[in-house]
Amino acid sequence: MNAVAPARGSTARRLAAAARVVSRVADERRPLDEALQSESHDIQAADRPAVQALAYGTIRWWPRLERYMSLLLERPAALAPQVRALLAVGLHQLEQSSHPVHAIVDETVEAARVLRAPRATAVLNAVLRRFLRERAALLERAARDPVAEFSHPLWLIDALRADWPAQWRETLAANNLQPPMWLRVNRRKVTAAAYIQSLADAGIQAARSEHAPEAVLLAAPRDVEQVPGFAQGLVSVQDCAAQLTAPLLDVRDGMRVLDACAAPGGKACQILEHAAVELLALDASAARLEQVRENLERLQLDAAVVAGDATAPAQWWDGRPFDRILIDAPCSASGVIRRHPDIKLLRRPADIEVLARQQGELLRASWPLLAPGGRLLYATCSTLRAENHAVIERFLAQTPDARALPLAAPGHPGADAPGLQILPGEAGMDGFYYACLEQRRT
């Protein structure tokens, strides 16, 4: 075997690793983070940032790349899964990367050997070079297909167009952008102004948000281990839209609060940073509750952490009512696609009806646990009305002692009754929906 130059060999190795990750998502329907973790033992530490970037980028543009492959090959599905994934990685590089195109082709072909698929080298070389020759015509043909144009599944394009006729294009475009990095300053330990000054002293550019008082936007994302004060509990990583939780819930000292779907614990910790409350952090997944405990420990906060089904309170509730309840409901996560592009591949239209039914069950089970005059905040990271407005409207129609409170966030144009919908990209935020319900006193 001929020796491979170190630079080229390392690039081919990264492309092959990215293809394995992409195949796990596209063919095995594994979440992207899980796929990266499962391959991590075979990825050298120096390669991991590049592999992650390649995998995220390829999955982000997969609907478009899949269209390209259908135009370039008679039967793309006939390719071995990892070879098809490698072809998608190569096409993504040719479309998005600034590297020399012929080097990309050569390295992608070499990556097939790393994947132990030497017979695929000829077809990869031919298809990638054809893409370069016919690129303009292929792009024109693909642009006639909304799936390729917007790089989203058709069902989601149609749903967003129906729900947000004036904003659907901007929402789809925002979903395809690299997400910014937001921090939440721990107000118990430092002010946002003081923390930003400490970043400036360290040569790190950052800015505050008008939407959430403790939200800080880094000019450039960085590894969490490199965020000043993170290990000491001065800050946490949390999108600005998610930081509206505690202010909208209006938590105050001495209250009893339930976080009904607590993992991984970001909102629970924010509530505790805002007020000295008695907090019960509940989640159905005992494994994911370990993340809640880790966050509480890092931030030096206290809460009761319980594994339990929020729809079956008889199994864990002690009978004492809560002044505030947060339901950060399981949802399609259609508002955070820019952070989790695998949602485009993993989510299906039928999932939305199932999720809406679960969301309604959470509301109905949690409502009797609320004290008279108490408030329940319903939150999702979804942009679909079927999971948001429709769920709340249905619950209000079925629950005479519930009323929706008008919501507004600082700097936001106002509530989209019932509730407040933030669409992806608004002021750099993720897509989130909030509805605050108050129990009428009898």
**Torsion over CA of 328, 332, 336 and 342, rounded to 10 degrees?**
140
DSSP 377: E
Q: How many residues does the chain have?
A: 442
User: Which amino acid, 17?
Assistant: A
**Torsion over CA of 260, 264, 266 and 268, rounded to 10 degrees?**
30
End-to-end CA distance of the chain: 83
Answer whether 327's CB lies under 8 Å from 392's CB. Answer: no
Count other Cβ atoms within 10 Å, centred on residue 349.
Answer: 13
Q: What's the rounded Cα separation, in Å, for the pair 262 and 439?
A: 22
Q: List the catalytic residue out of 240, 269, 381, 436.
A: 381
Phi, psi of 139 (to 5 degrees): -65, -40
Strand 370-380, strand 432-439: pairing: antiparallel
User: Which amino acid, 385?
Assistant: R
Q: What's the rounded Cα separation, in Å, for the pair 328 and 205?
A: 31
CB within 8 A of 190, min separation 6: which ones? 198, 229, 234
Q: What's the rounded Cα separation, in Å, for the pair 343 and 366?
A: 28
Q: What's the rounded Cα separation, in Å, for the pair 26 and 15?
A: 16
Nearest to residue 176, comparing CAs of 383, 352, 424? 424
Tell me the two tokens of residue 278: 């008695």
How far, rounded to the nearest angstrom, does the alpha carbon of residue 313 sit from its chain's CA centroid? Answer: 28
Q: What's the rounded Cα separation, in Å, for the pair 325 and 436?
A: 10
381 is catalytic: yes
Q: CA dist 357 to 360, 368, 387, Å?
A: 5, 18, 9
Catalytically active residues, by annotation: 381
